[in-house]
Structure 1
Amino acid sequence: MVAIDQVLEKLSTVIDPDLKKDIVSMGMIKDLELNDGNLKFTLELTTPACPFNVEIEDDVRKVIAELSDLKAFDLNVTAKVMEGRSLEADTQMATVKNIIGVASGKGGVGKSTVSLNLALALSQTGAKVGLLDADIYGPSIPLMLGMEDGSMEVEDNKLQPADVNGLKVVSFGFFADQSKQAAIYRGPIISGILKQFLVDTNWSELDYLIVDLPPGTGDIPLTLAQTIPITGILVITTPQDVASNVAVKAVSMFEKLNVPIIGVIENMSHFVCPKCDDKHYIFGNGGAKKISEQFKIPFLGEIPLNYGIMSGSDSGKPIMSTNTDSPSAEAFRASAKNVAAQCSIIASNLQEEMESESGDSESSNEDSTNNGTS
C-alpha cells in the first residue's frame, strides 16, 4: 500500500516554474490525508493570478497518477498570496501583503490606464486589490471609473476607500472642492497627503495595493519609497526612445533607493489592423525590451494601442470591466499574471533572507552561550 512518504516524494518532483522550487518545500501541499488508499490534499498556489496554475495542477495530477494502489484521489486547489514585503517592519499597513508602485519617467504613456486595468485584472482572479491614485496634482482614476462625483468617508479617524468594481480605491480626485481646481501645494504638503492616504486609510486585508504614481522622480515617488516597505516598482513606458530614455531615470532612482524593480510593461506597443490583423509599430519597436536588457529586469508584457482602451478610460468604463474577451483585455490579464508572479518571486527571496537571518541569529546566540559557559 502506498505511504505518505511516497506521495511527498512524488510531489517534490513538481517544480514551480517561477520560483524554481518544488511545491513540497514551498509548503504548497496542505491538509494531506491518506486513508486506506484514499488520498486527499490541498494545493495552495502562491497567488490566484499565478500564470502557471493550470500547468502546476496538471503536473500534480500526473505524478499522483504514477502511484499504484491508490483507490481515489481528491485534489482541492486554492491560493494564498505571499507577503512581498516585511510586514513586521510596517505595523501601520500590516494588512497589505504587497504594495506595487507604478512609475514612469514622463507623462503621456498611459500609466494610470495601465494601473487601473492591471488592478482590475488581478481582482478578477480572486485577489483582494486596492488602488491608490497618488497623482495629487492630476488625479485621473475617478474619471476612468466613472466616479467624478464619488467621495470617501472618515470613520474612527480612518479614511474609508471607495468600493468600486471590486477595488478599494483612494484618490485626491474624490474631494469635491478639488475636482475642478488645480492642486497648488509644495512638496512637503504633497508628501504629507500621500502618507495620510497610505497609513491613515482603512485598507482592510489586501493582497495587492497598486499605487499609481505621478510621472517623474519627484516628491511622491520618493515619499513612497522612504515611508513604508514596498514590494517593488513597476515601470510603464511606450516604445519610442524619448519615452524609454526617460523611463530609465525612474529605474535608476529606485535602484539607488534599494527598491526592487518588479519589471517593465510597454504600453501602446503596436496597433493591430482590424482588416488584415497585421501589427503596425506606430511609435517604434522594442523600447521596453531595451530597458529590460539594460537593467536585467523582467519584461512583463505589451499592451496594444487600441481605441477601446482609450474610449473606455474617458467614459468611465475600463476595458477590463466592459470587454473582458478582447485581445486588449487578454494583454492586461497576461501582464497582471506576470506582475503577480514577480511579486511571488520577491516574496520567496524575502522569506529566504529572513530565514537565513534568523538562522544566523540563533547560531550567534548559541556561540555566545557556549563561550559564556566554557
Structure 2
Amino acid sequence: MTTTVSQKQILDALSKVNDPELHRSLTDLKMVRDVVIHAGKVEVTIALTVSNCPLKSQIEEDVRAAITALPEVKQVSVKLISMTDQERAALFGEPKEGAAAPYNHIQNVVAVMSGKGGVGKSLVTGLLAAALSKKGYRVGILDADITGPSIPMLLGLHGPVEPGPVGLRPLQSRGGLKVMSMNFLLTNEDQPVIWRGPLIGKAITQLWGDVMWGDLDYLLVDLPPGTSDAALSTMQSLPVKGVVMVTTPQGLSAMIVRKAVHMTQAVGVPILGVVENMAYFICPDTGKQHFIFGPSHATEITLAASAPLMAQLPIDPNVAALCDAGHVEDVKLTEIEGLIEAFVKAAPVQAERQHG
C-alpha cells in the first residue's frame, strides 16, 4: 500500500517555521494559503506580509527545508504571493504609533551624548557601531539628531525607506548596521526640519517604536547637542541602559559636557564612560604628538561622571576623508580596540540571543 504525506503533516511542519522578522509561525500569521499534494510532490503557496519582504528567500528556503524533511516527500514547489491591504489589516490591525515595538528585541540601548556641538558624537557612534558589528554583535543606529543628522553621510546611506508589515524597515549599511534617520524620510536631503521641541521629542519616540529594528545586541542613539527636548525624550521614553559621553580637550568643551553629565545624573541614567575626541595629532613626518586643542580635561569629566575614560581618539585627516566619503566603517585606529573592550565591559550582552 502506497503512503503519502498528509496536509496535516505539512501544516504541522510549517507551524514550526517562523517569519524571521516577526518571530511568529507562518501558520499563526496565516501565511500558508494553499497546499497541493500529488504523488510525493508538494506545492505550497505562502502569502508574504508585504511584497517587498527582504527575507523572502530565507522564508522560501525554510519552508522548502521543513517540507522536504517529511517522509514520502520527493519534490517541493513554493509559490510566493503577497497579502492584500485588507488581509494585513485583519492580521495586524490598522497602522498605529508604536506598532513595531512588540516585535523588536533589543538588549542594550545606549545613547551617545555630549551637550557640546562639534565634538564628534556622530563619529564616535559610527566607530562604535562599526567595530561592534565586526566583533559579531548585531547593531543598529537611531539618529536622534532630527535637525542636523550626520549619520547618513558617515555611512553613505540615502532614503527612502520601505514599509514593513508593522513599521518602517531601517536601511542597512555595507557592514550590516541597521540605521534610521529623519533624513531618510525627507523628499530632499537638504530640506530643513523646522520643528519646535515637542515635535522633535515625538519624532524620536516614533523612530524607536515605529521602526522594525528586529533582534539587536546594541542600539546606539546618536543625540544632538544640548540637554533639552531630544535628550530628555530619549532618556525618558526609551529604555536607555547608559550613556557614552563625548568631549574634546578644550576647557570650554569640558564645561558644557559637565552640564550634560549632571543632566544625565539628574534623570537617573548611568554614564558608562567618556571618550575624548581630537585629543592629539601625530605629525606624520616626526611621529611627535601635538596637542592642538590644549591639554586634556578628560579627567575632570570622568570624575564628575564617576565613569572610566574609554578612549582618547586622535585627529587624523584619513578619518575625515573616509567619513566624508561615507566610509566610516572602514576607519582604522589603534585606539578603537580599547574603546570596544571598555564599552562591552560596561554594557555586556547576555549569552542567550535567540528568540522563538
**Fold in common (TM above 0.5):** yes
The gaps in structure 2 that reach 5 residues or longer are 1-100, 352-356
Which of 181, 203, 219 matches 2:191? 181
Which of 190, 199, 214 matches 1:204? 214
Which of 111, 126, 134 matches 2:136? 126
1:11-37, Cα deviation, whole Å (9 max, x unpaired): xxxxxxxxxxxxxxxxxxxxxxxxxxx
Whole-Å Cα distance in 2 between the matches of residues 222 and 197 of structure 1?
15
Higher helix share: 1
What is the CA distance between 1:269 and its match in structure 2?
A: 0.6
Q: Show the counterpart of 1:247.
A: 257
Q: Show the counterpart of 1:83.
A: none
3-state SS, counterpart of residue 168 of structure 2: strand
Q: How does 1:289-300 map onto structure 2 within 5 Å?
A: 289-300=299-310
Q: Show the counterpart of 1:256.
A: 266
What is the CA distance between 1:94 and its match in structure 2?
A: 5.5
What is the CA distance between 1:92 and its match in structure 2?
A: 4.3
TM-score (norm 1): 0.64
Work out which of the two has the higher radius of gyration on C-alpha atoms and give 1 or 2. 2
Q: How does 1:337-356 map onto structure 2 within 5 Å?
A: 337-344=341-348
Aligned amino acid, residue 157 of structure 1: V
3-state SS, counterpart of residue 155 of structure 1: coil
Which of 112, 132, 148 matches 1:102? 112
Q: 1:93 to 1:278 in 2, by over 3 A?
A: farther
Whole-Å Cα distance in 2 between the matches of residues 269 and 297 of structure 1?
18
Whole-Å Cα distance in 2 between the matches of residues 178 and 246 of structure 1?
33
Which of 159, 171, 191 matches 2:181? 171
1:89-112, Cα deviation, whole Å (9 max, x unpaired): xx7475000001000121111111
1:235 maps onto 2:239 in alignment: no
1:332 maps onto 2:342 in alignment: no
Name whichever of 160-169 and 173-182 sits farther off: 173-182
What is the CA distance between 1:294 and its match in structure 2?
A: 3.1
Contact 1:100–1:234 (8 Å) recurs in 2: yes
Q: Show the counterpart of 1:307.
A: 317
Whole-Å Cα distance in 2 between the matches of residues 233 and 93 of structure 1?
25
3-state SS, counterpart of residue 147 of structure 2: coil
1:242-293, Cα deviation, whole Å (9 max, x unpaired): 1011000111001000001111100001001112211111111222222112
Aligned amino acid, residue 240 of structure 1: Q
Aligned amino acid, residue 305 of structure 1: I
Aligned residue pairs, count: 251
Which of 161, 181, 193 matches 2:170? 161
1:287 maps onto 2:297 in alignment: yes
Whole-Å Cα distance in 2 between the matches of residues 316 and 95 of structure 1?
28
1:192-218, Cα deviation, whole Å (9 max, x unpaired): 111111111111110001100001102
Whole-Å Cα distance in 2 between the matches of residues 285 and 340 of structure 1?
28
Which of 194, 197, 205 matches 1:195? 205
3-state SS, counterpart of residue 177 of structure 1: coil
Whole-Å Cα distance in 2 between the matches of residues 216 and 172 of structure 1?
18
What is the CA distance between 1:344 and its match in structure 2?
A: 2.6
Alpha-carbon RMSD across the aligned residues, in angstroms, is 2.0
Whole-Å Cα distance in 2 between the matches of residues 279 and 195 of structure 1?
43
TM-score (norm 2): 0.67
Aligned amino acid, residue 337 of structure 1: E
Contact 1:93–1:199 (8 Å) recurs in 2: no
3-state SS, counterpart of residue 250 of structure 1: helix
3-state SS, counterpart of residue 242 of structure 1: helix
